[in-house]
Amino acid sequence: MECVKHPGREAKLYCQKTNRWFCEECGSGCASPKAHCKFRTACIIWALEHDRSGSLKEEAGDERRGDRE
Ligand SMILES: [Zn+2]
């Protein structure tokens, strides 16, 4: 797959809502963060965006601590 905005560049991020592929640069943020998106809970773009800001840390933290007994 290649980025919808950068032909020839590998796209790694997929938006299920718009049915488009984006490279890491273009997929660095949701294109319409305020609009309802039923795919948001499984959206890699949304997850990465919030992972950087730290607002998803509590949810993701449980899995990361899974190796601790
Ligand atoms: Zn791109």
**23-43 pLDDT, tens per residue?**
999 999 998 889 999 999 999
| Distance from residue 2's CA to the centre of ligand 1 (Å) | 8
| Distance from residue 7's CA to the centre of ligand 1 (Å) | 8
Residue 4: is its pLDDT beyond 60? yes
pLDDT number for residue 65: 56
| Distance from residue 60's CA to the centre of ligand 1 (Å) | 27
Residue written as token pair 């809970």 = 41
Query: Does the predicted TM-score (pTM) go above 0.75?
Result: no
| Distance from residue 45's CA to the centre of ligand 1 (Å) | 13
Helix axes 57-64, 44-53, angle to 10 degrees: 100
> How far apart (Å, rounded) are the C-alpha atoms in residues 43 and 31?
12
